[in-house]
A = this chain, B = another copy of it.
Amino acid sequence: MECAINLAEKLATFDQRWSPRTVSEFNGHDIMVVKVLGEFNWHSHPDTDDFFLVLKGTLDIEMREQTVTLGPGEMFIVPKGVEHRPVAREEVHMLLIEPTGTPNTGDRATAAKRQVI
């Protein structure tokens, strides 16, 4: 029996920030929810685009040439290879999509462990 995935309910099950939780899988990608606050590291993903959809709060996606600001119901795709740094001045809840196994920091040594909820 498969069920609807309620994103807010999934987000309510954890408090840890910068630690994406996989809620479903799609064509070899993880569908993830995450809570973030503050500045992440500058990084890029050489082999994949990076999907961000903001559900709550306001997120800046800093890139070297420009910054894109996302509020609830707004999304952005960082193209593969483009350096970026997410910055959240308040707690932000997001939906992320990346190929399963993609290191969230761009570096396997520092990446968050995959957690399925």
Q: Which of A21-29, A36-44, A103-111 contacts B (4 or more CB under 8 A)?
A: A21-29
Q: Check A99 for interface membership: any CB of B closer than 8 A.
A: yes
Residues of A within 8 A of B (CB): 1-8, 23-27, 29, 31, 48-49, 51, 53, 55, 66, 68-71, 73-77, 80, 95, 97, 99
Interchain Cβ contacts under 8 Å between A and B, 23 examples = A1-B66, A2-B66, A2-B76, A3-B68, A5-B74, A5-B75, A6-B73, A6-B74, A7-B74, A7-B75, A8-B73, A23-B75, A24-B75, A24-B76, A24-B77, A25-B49, A26-B51, A26-B97, A27-B48, A31-B51, A31-B77, A55-B73, A97-B97
